[in-house]
């Protein structure tokens, strides 16, 4: 399909939509100025309340999922879907709406891989919930999933070499985007969610 290159462009455009920022503005706050200064679901939940954090997570996941779903439906090849997903994550992390800044890419990555590898993504969702339930730290759960994800892709998708290496790259990007969290974890002052929150 000669227009396949349009799907990665669409992926970037959809990924760049800063739903967390817009939800915050609708609630009268700029998430970039509060909490961790991040526009992702975790900071939205902490600043605006749990239900708003859930909303931002679903919206960020959906934009990644729909970008890849459209590419896989009309782009005809696995590579087009993967490229579209990568561009969606890049758009989220470097959103032109926010001066080429953005979130950490976890929810959007979950969305693109839910479209590309649904079974692996469901396993990782269970892992994320288990780690979070034990430690109550979102960054620890997210980093655990980012670490395990490439292992599962190499294991369960041996014939999809492009996807395998993309999973490594996105896992690395998630780790880089969590560098401030890593510093707080080493200092012992990373934010936790209480059992009641």
Task: State residue 195's pLDDT score.
Answer: 60
Total domains, the chain: 1
Query: 112 lies in which domain range?
Result: 6-187
Encode 177-194: b = buried (16+ Cβ within 10 Å), e = exposed.
bbeebeebeeeeebeebe
Is 192 within a domain?
no
Residue 196: the pLDDT is: 53
In a domain, 107, yes or no: yes
What's the token pair of residue 9? 């462009």
* CB atoms closer than 10 angstroms to residue 17: 19
Q: What six digits make up the tokens of 55?
A: 């909303």
Does residue 195 sit within a domain?
Answer: no
pLDDT tens track for 64-116: 999 999 999 887 788 999 999 999 999 999 999 999 998 899 999 999 999 99
Quote the pLDDT of residue 142.
94
Residue 23 lies in a domain: yes
CA-based nearest residue to 116, from 152, 148, 143: 152
Q: Is-contact 53 46, C-beta < 8 A?
A: yes
The span from the CA of 149 to the CA of 174, in Å, is 11
> Looking at the domain assignment, is residue 194 inside a domain?
no
Whole-prediction pTM: 0.88
- Is a pLDDT exceeding 80 seen at residue 197? no
How many CA atoms, within 13 angstroms, populate the side-chain half-sphere of residue 44?
26
């Amino acid at each position: 399909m000669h227009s396949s290159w349009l799907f990665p462009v669409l992926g970037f455009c959809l990924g760049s939509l800063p739903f967390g920022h817009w939800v915050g503005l609708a609630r009268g706050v700029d998430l970039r100025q509060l909490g961790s200064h991040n526009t992702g679901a975790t900071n939205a939940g902490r600043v605006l309340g749990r239900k708003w954090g859930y909303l931002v997570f679903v919206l960020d996941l959906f934009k990644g999922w729909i970008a890849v779903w459209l590419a896989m439906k009309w782009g005809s090849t696995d590579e087009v879907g993967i490229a579209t997903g990568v561009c969606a994550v890049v758009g989220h992390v470097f959103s032109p709406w926010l001066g080429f800044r953005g979130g950490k890419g976890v929810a959007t990555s979950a969305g693109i891989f839910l479209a590309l590898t649904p079974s692996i993504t469901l396993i990782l969702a269970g892992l994320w919930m288990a780690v979070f339930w034990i430690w109550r730290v979102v960054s620890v759960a997210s980093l655990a999933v980012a670490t395990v994800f490439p292992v599962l892709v190499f294991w369960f998708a041996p014939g999809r070499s492009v996807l395998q290496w993309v999973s490594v790259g996105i896992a690395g990007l998630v780790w880089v985007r969590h560098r401030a969290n890593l510093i707080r974890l080493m200092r012992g002052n990373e934010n936790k969610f209480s059992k009641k929150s």
